[in-house]
Amino acid sequence: MKASKVVYKPVGLALGAVSGLVAGALFQQAWKALGHDEDAPGPTDEDRSWREVLLAATLQGAIFAGVKAAVDRAGATAVRRLTGTWPG
């Protein structure tokens, strides 16, 4: 196993936890910015419309994926700086 992969394993785990927290906070801000006073609905929230539930899920998924990609990319770049190789 390449040294960069070994170095990246714990870094990737830590970054994954941080990215989840950041993405959750960004999603809550985005949901409120869209004019929603209440928390985002869950898929089984009976009192919310299909449209609202699907909008919330789509927005949340996009934000989580974008934050995860940015954080993973930054982590891989940092590992390359430390080890000289890309953790592939």
30, with CB counted inside 10 A (0-12, 13-18, 19+), is middle
Using N-to-C axis directions, what is the helix angle for 50-83 and 3-33, rounded to 10°? 150
This prediction's pTM: 0.82
Q: What is the mean pLDDT of each run of 10 residues along the chain (88 residues)?
A: 73 86 95 89 94 95 95 88 85
Tell me which residue has tokens 């928390």. 39
List helix spans (H) across the chain.
3-33, 50-83
pLDDT of residue 1: 58
Cβ neighbourhood burial of 84 (10 Å; 0-12, 13-18, 19+) = exposed
